[in-house]
Structure 1
Amino acid sequence: MRQPEEVRRKELYDNEARLSWVLAALAGLIGAAAFMHTAGYFVTFMTGNTERAVLGHFHHEGDVAVAAALLLASFLAGVVVASLCRRHFWSGHPHGPTLLTTACLATASTIDFVLYERTATSRIDFVPILFVAFGVGALNTSFVKDGEVSIPLSYVTGTLVKLGQGIERHLNGGTYADWLDYFLLYTAFALGALLGGLLSLAVAGWAMLITATAVCLLVTTYTYLHLDKHGPLTEE
């Protein structure tokens, strides 16, 4: 049964909605940081990684296929580990997954800096990106309801599908509330990616992950000091 219109409008701007925009933008920024200074690795686009893992062999690019498969495995591991932590340690606290993401980015930054000191190359190596993919997987568990992810932050394809369905409902007697939340979530992700792209023009490759870590730490602090003080956002 559909929710009353006044409830839908309130949910568009509540604590959970605002946090989802911030975390979606963070996911977009992290994805851009990983993409712009590497050989083109995806840490948010698991559909693309799946196709690369399967189709890379058809183009005699076995290394690309293996890298994509490892990114998939790392992302999945991040989801599993963060979900276990939510069940046992972080129930109802959205800062938990962002804290794990920050730790993963810090680890990736440390490894990348050590590699930079040895090779003096500005391109981010593959090993740090595995930790980034793990962190993005963990970040996607920030919103859970009834044991399932209620807002997948980096699943842009699904967000666009829901956006299109909401527009259709609006055209057939609904209101802007049927699609605006999905539009705002998508826009936040896109703006985060744009910010990451702009940062990549101003920050050297070896410092890009450090910058992303600093931003992620700020977001984690925001979720803990502000939103967590209002109590659980979702019920498990």
Structure 2
Amino acid sequence: MTREKRRKIIRTQRTRTGLGLVAAISFIAGLTDAIGLRLSGDFVSFMTGNTTRAAIALADGDWSHGFVLLAAIFVFVLGNALGIVIAHLVPRRMFGVLASVAMLLAFAAILEAEQFRLLRFYLVVASMGMVNATVEHIEGLPIGLTYVTGALSRLGRGIGRFIMGERNLDWTIQAVPWFGMVSGAMCGALLGLAIPDHALVVAAALTMIVALSSLFIRRTLHWRFNQRTLSSSRRR
């Protein structure tokens, strides 16, 4: 087998592995977002929506709700930053990030008292920010895990280019996070109705299952899903 053929096989396997992970993690993100929306009345991963709702709340004079949503956006950004830090500090990046997300969700699940409602909301928001550090791109194509507006935009532009004669079909992978999120959101909505007090436990358990499963993925199939920092590039 030639080196080029071997590289092509590895790229194909890496793409399939990445898409499987994106589908699973987007499912968890959709599940958690639907559960979080039922529990708090606000989005835990859709920060575009929270930005608009915060602006409306502030314009209407609802300062308390407006600042809660602005703080959620700040927490989401911090969660993303923390996810990147964890991803570049631990040997198994994906396991480290997903295990941390699972623990945050589990901790949020036990905060059932009304006085901890806001803290629980922010913990779930932080976890949804962190999860974005698991898969940042697949073979150079950007992927969003907890938000699908960008994916749908890239999908639409890809369709437009296809109509205009371009036959590169890489854009089709953008449908994966949307299908993952919408199916997860439907399950989360049902869980929020059936077992509202334990729905986050299910989300935490599913996240840990995916985290443990990632330990069985060969390094050659997952280590390039993250952008490398300058310091990590120097170590290689």
TM-score between the two structures when normalised by the length of structure 2: 0.81
Q: Which residue of 1 aligns with 2:100?
A: 100
- List gaps (5 residues or longer) in structure 1: 1-5
Please state how far the C-alpha of 1:65 moved relative to its aligned partner: 0.3
What pairs up with 1:30-69 in 2 under 5 angstroms?
30-38=32-40, 40-69=41-70
What pairs up with 1:90-169 in 2 under 5 angstroms?
90=91, 93-112=93-112, 115=113, 125-144=117-136, 150-169=142-161
Larger deviation, residues 128-137 vs 47-56: 47-56
Q: Which residue of 1 aligns with 2:20?
A: 18
**d(CA) in 1 for partners of 2:74, 2:135:** 21
**d(CA) in 1 for partners of 2:152, 2:99:** 28
Identity %: 24
Larger deviation, residues 46-55 vs 190-199: 46-55
**d(CA) in 1 for partners of 2:144, 2:168:** 21
1:210 equivalent in alignment to 2:211: no
* Cα-to-partner distance string for 1:1-51 (whole Å, 9 max, x where unaligned): xxxxx99x947951111111111111101101101232x111111111122
Runs of 4+ in structure 1 deviating by more than 6 angstroms, as ranges, are none
Q: Which residue of 2 aligns with 1:193?
A: 185
**d(CA) in 1 for partners of 2:212, 2:89:** 21
Q: Which residue of 2 aligns with 1:3?
A: none
The answer on whether the counterparts of 1:104 and 1:135 sit within 8 Å (CA) in structure 2 is: yes
**d(CA) in 2 for partners of 1:15, 1:233:** 11
* Cα-to-partner distance string for 1:71-91 (whole Å, 9 max, x where unaligned): 11211111111111222225x
1:170 equivalent in alignment to 2:162: yes
Matched residue type, 2:81: V
**d(CA) in 2 for partners of 1:103, 1:80:** 17
CA pair 229-170 structure 1, distance change in 2 beyond 3 A: closer
The answer on whether the counterparts of 2:87 and 2:94 sit within 8 Å (CA) in structure 1 is: no
The answer on whether the counterparts of 1:104 and 1:131 sit within 8 Å (CA) in structure 2 is: yes
**d(CA) in 2 for partners of 1:172, 1:10:** 27
Q: Which SS does the other structure have where 2:169 is aligned?
A: helix
Superposition RMSD in Å: 2.8
TM-score between the two structures when normalised by the length of structure 1: 0.81
Please state how far the C-alpha of 1:159 moved relative to its aligned partner: 0.7
Q: Which residue of 2 aligns with 1:77?
A: 78
Matched residue type, 2:123: F
Q: What is the count of residue pairs matched by the alignment?
A: 217
The answer on whether the counterparts of 2:22 and 2:176 sit within 8 Å (CA) in structure 1 is: no
Matched residue type, 1:15: T
* Cα-to-partner distance string for 1:78-116 (whole Å, 9 max, x where unaligned): 1111111222225x632222111111101101222xx16
The answer on whether the counterparts of 2:102 and 2:204 sit within 8 Å (CA) in structure 1 is: yes
Matched residue type, 2:48: T
**d(CA) in 1 for partners of 2:104, 2:177:** 24
CA pair 54-149 structure 1, distance change in 2 beyond 3 A: farther
**d(CA) in 2 for partners of 1:11, 1:220:** 19
Q: Which SS does the other structure have where 1:125 is aligned?
A: helix
Please state how far the C-alpha of 1:227 moved relative to its aligned partner: 5.8
